[in-house]
Amino acid sequence: MSQEVSPFTPAGATHRTVDVPGRRIHLVEQGAGPLVLLIHGFPELWHSWRHQLPALAAAGYRAVAVDVRGYGRSPAPDDVAAYRIGAHVEDNVAVVRALGEETAVIVGHDWGSTIAADSALLRPDVFTAVGLFGVPYAPRGGMKPTDAFAMIGGDEEFYVSHFQEPGRAEAEIEPDVRGWLAGFYATLAGDTMPASGEGAVFFVPKGGRLSDRFVQESPSWLTDEELDFCAAEFERTGFTGALNRYRSMDRDWEDLADFEGAPLTQPSLFVAGELDASIAWLADAVKAFPSTLPGLFSSHLVEGAGHWVQQERPDEVNRLLTDWLGSLNGPTPPAPTRTR
């Protein structure tokens, strides 16, 4: 089955779907031992964890990378409200149960980082530790997210606002899925981003498109064949399910009203590329880690890497990840550190 779903499945990994209430979630699994649940971001698939699956399995863990709802081989409900954060948390809990486990370490990248953090926040009984890649944890604040993002960019439109209107971003992306993905991936990667950095690409000029500022290069860490696979998955599903996560942000804010300012108290890890624009925009969130992530083991900025840190620098990320996982049952972790 693995090769039917993807020729890039790591040797020894298997594809399966598991029943969760009202739907089925597709995942790729490798190894045996404590469960580590891997949650991808936008616009990605389980495939973004292809380098971590065998490394975690070799280190003695049961590594499971899911297709998040709205992506890949998992369901894509039509209703935007079906993508609110509580639904993603329920999916993750249900996957853990379907795999016959009671608890898991959860690790996420990009939107997956937010989903992982909120899974740990809402269900600390299930998610005993949390790894955050690319996007730092930021507790719910006092301003509705769409209002906050609308204030960014001046005469230009921030990409989150650009994604809000149903059909608008789809009309830009879906006529050339492969080209759009290649440009988006390359523009945010450390070795191919514009000389000015990746930040400018997130702003849309009036009457323009997000892709107007993409670099016209292929990402070095993704082969043409792998890009073909990712593009084919999105061509099959469309982008609406993926974009509906952005369109649910205000619902998340409403649902998390009882958790304003709440810290994540579980053992945690933060890893990002040093060139990732998210680190600049969310610098205050990183500075707040002593209070918002009191269980932080370590915080790392990977030199030369951009947004796709676990794909751009898999060996270094795998070392950081397995070192942290090994600490969970070891001695008391050291004080939080920040490395390059």
331 pLDDT band (50/70/90 cuts)?
very low
Active site residue 307: yes
Per the listing, tokens 């990605």 go with: 44
Crossing angle of helices 224-237/177-187, nearest 10°?
Answer: 120
Cβ distance 264 to 121 under 8 Å? yes
Active-site residue, from 15, 40, 51, 307: 307
* Mean of all residue pLDDT scores within the chain: 92
Q: How far apart are CA 282 and CA 106, in angstroms?
A: 21
Backbone angles phi, psi at 104, to 5 degrees: -155, 155
Section 159-169 average pLDDT? 94
The two beta strands, 62-66 and 35-39, are parallel
Say how far apart CA 181 and CA 51 lie, in whole Å. Answer: 20
Statement: residue 209 has pLDDT above 50: yes
CA-based nearest residue to 256, from 339, 144, 160: 144
Mean pLDDT of 230-239: 97
Question: Hey, what domains does the chain have and what are their CATH numbers?
Answer: 2-339 (3.40.50.1820)
Averaged over 270-281, what is the pLDDT?
A: 93
pLDDT bin (cut points 50, 70, 90) of residue 335 is very low
State how far Cα 231 lies from the chain centre: 18
Per-residue tokens: 291: 């209070």
The catalytic residue among 15, 26, 109, 110 is 110
Phi then psi for residue 63, to 5 deg, are: -95, 130
